[in-house]
């Protein structure tokens, strides 16, 4: 999903890594919550497709808004769209090796 990213898409992902899930204190990229990042230069749009670890996540809105804010801060001239999806369903297997290492500290 997060493969073959353009330079702008990778930079966007790097910005999103600053968003920390407050319940586990790990960034949401390493938690596996970010599924896709799309950059459309001509339309000046950036789209982030993400999920949450659970539908009833009490900080879900905060996390989504934080993603939108950090991307908008980096790309003020772009329209930023953050789409929440539930498929595929998130599982702990989606946590990156870096995320697993952070959880085990």
| Predicted confidence (pLDDT) per residue in 43-81, tens digit | 999 999 999 999 988 899 999 999 999 999 999 999 999
Whole-number pLDDT of residue 7: 94
pTM for this entry: 0.93
Give all strands of the β-sheet with 45-50 in edge-to-edge order.
34-40, 45-50, 79-84
8 neighbors 77 (Cβ within 8 angstroms): no
Whole-number pLDDT of residue 92: 94
Rounded Cα distance between 14 and 26, Å, is: 14
89 neighbors 53 (Cβ within 8 angstroms): no
Retrieve residue 32's tokens: 């596996």
Rounded to the nearest 10 degrees, what angle do helices 60-74 and 7-16 cross at? 140
What is the dotted CATH code of the domain comprising 7-90?
A: 3.30.300.130
Rounded Cα distance between 79 and 40, Å, is: 10
> In the chain, which ranges are continuous DSSP H helix?
7-16, 60-74, 97-103
* pLDDT band (50, 70, 90) for residue 19: very high
Q: Where are the domains of the chain?
A: 7-90
């Amino acid at each position: 999903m997060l493969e073959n990213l353009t330079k702008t898409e990778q930079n966007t992902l790097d910005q999103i890594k600053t968003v920390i899930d407050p319940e586990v204190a790990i960034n949401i990229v390493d938690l596996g919550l970010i599924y896709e990042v799309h950059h459309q230069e001509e339309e000046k749009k950036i789209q982030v497709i993400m999920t949450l670890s659970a539908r009833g996540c009490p900080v879900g809105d905060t996390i989504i808004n934080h993603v939108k804010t950090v991307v908008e801060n980096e790309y003020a001239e772009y329209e930023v769209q953050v789409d929440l999806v539930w498929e595929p369903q998130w599982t702990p297997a989606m946590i990156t090796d870096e995320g697993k290492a952070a959880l085990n500290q």
